[in-house]
Amino acid sequence: MYAKNAGCERCSKVVVNSLSVVEDRLLKIKQQEKDRKMLSESIKKLVQYGIETGLTPACEKNYTTNLLLDVFKEDEYTEPAEEYSDINLEEVLKELLDEAVERGLIQDSVVYRDLFDTRLMNCLMPRPAQVQKSFWEKYEKSPEEATDYFYKLSQDSDYIRRYRVKKDQKWTVDSPYGAIDITINLSKPEKDPKAIAAAKLIKSSSYPKCLLCPENEGYAGRANHPARENHRIIPITINDSPWGMQYSPYVYYNEHCIVFNFQHTPMKIERNTFIKLFDFVKLFPHYFLGSNADLPIVGGLFSVTIISRAAIIRLLWQRLKLRNM
C-alpha cells in the first residue's frame, strides 16, 4: 500500500512538472506573440512616417517593411489593422530600440542605440542619386526650394535629430558687425563608460579618413565613429574642383550647412578662399559662407547659414588685414 502511494505521488509530481513546463512554454509563446505584435505595429508606424514625410514612396511600402523585418531578423509579419498618422518619430524609434535590446541585437547604450536607429532610418531613405536628382530638379525652379527640400530631408531622416537639437541653448548678441548667434550645443549625446571601453578595443581604422569625408555617406558606423547611413551629400563645384554640401547634424545655427573639399588638403586662408566663398554664394544667393580658421584642430571646411552676408565679408576682410600687418 505504501509503495503504491509513493508511486502515485511520483506520478503526481511528474504530471505537475509537465504541466509547469507546458504553462511556461505557453506563456513564452504568448509573450513572443505579444512582442511580435508590438514590433509589427512599430514597423508599420515607421513605414507610415516615411510615406508621410516623403522619404518613402507609397509604392515601396512592402519593400521597406521587409528591410526593417530583416534588420530585426524577423520572419513573421501580420500587418496591423489599425491605421496610423502624425507619427512621433522619437517614440516609434524608442519602441524599436527597446525591442532590439530585448532581443539582444544591441547593447543598451546611447552609442549602440544611435548606430541601430540610423540603420532603421536608412531603410526609409531614398538612394543618394535620387536625392541629388530631386535637389537639382528643384534647383532649376529655385535654389531656395532646393535647399528647403534638402534641409527637410536631413531632419525627417533623423540625421538632424530634432528632439535633441531642442535642448540647445541659443541667444543673440548685438555687435559692431551685426547680430551674433551664440549656441551652447547640448544635442551631442554623451558616451557612456561601456561604449568608451568598447571603443578602445576596436581595431583602428583609417576609413573614413575623417568625419567630413564623402565616404561617410551611407557608412554604418562603429563605437568610435558615428553612423551615417541616413546621411546624404550634394556634390557641387567650387573653384573648378569637386566639393560636397551637407547639413550639420548639430545645427549650431539656422540651417547650419557645411561645404567641404572632396580632397584632403591643408586649410589655408588666401586669395582663393574668397573665390571659393563667392562661387558658393553664386550658386546659393540666399545663403552665405564663412571660412573656418586654417588651424588643424578646426579643420578645412566652410560653414553656411542664413544671416547678413556683408557681416561675414567684413570679418574676413579684417582677418586678412590682420594677417598682412
Q: Which residues pair with 108 in a beta bridge?
A: none
Q: Say yes or no: 137 and 91 in one domain.
A: no
Distance between CA 104 and CA 181 in Å, rounded?
43
Q: Residue 92: what pLDDT? A: 98
In the predicted structure, residue 309 carries a pLDDT above the cut 50: no
Q: pLDDT tens across 172-215, in order?
A: 889 888 888 787 877 776 666 666 666 666 777 789 988 888 99
Query: Of 73, 105, 137, at which residue does a domain stop?
Result: 105
Any domain includes 119: no
Percentages helix, strand, coil for the chain (3-state, rounded to 5) are: 50, 15, 35
Cell triple for 106: 544591441
**Residue 7 lies in domain:** 2-105
Any domain includes 120: no
Distance between CA 178 and CA 174 in Å, rounded?
6
Q: Say yes or no: 164 and 312 in one domain.
A: yes
Number of independent structural domains in the chain: 2
Q: Say yes or no: 142 and 258 in one domain.
A: yes
User: Rounded to whole angstroms, what are the CA distances from 91 to 86, 153, 283?
Assistant: 12, 19, 38
Q: Say yes or no: 145 and 201 in one domain.
A: yes
Of the given ranges (117-126, 169-178, 209-218, 272-281), which has the lowest mean pLDDT? 169-178
Residue 259 is classified by DSSP as E
Q: Say yes or no: 177 and 306 in one domain.
A: yes
Q: Say yes or no: 84 and 148 in one domain.
A: no
Cell triple for 155: 531632419
Q: Residue 33: what pLDDT? A: 72
Q: Residue 266: what pLDDT? A: 79
Closest CA to 118 of 67, 69, 64, 158: 158
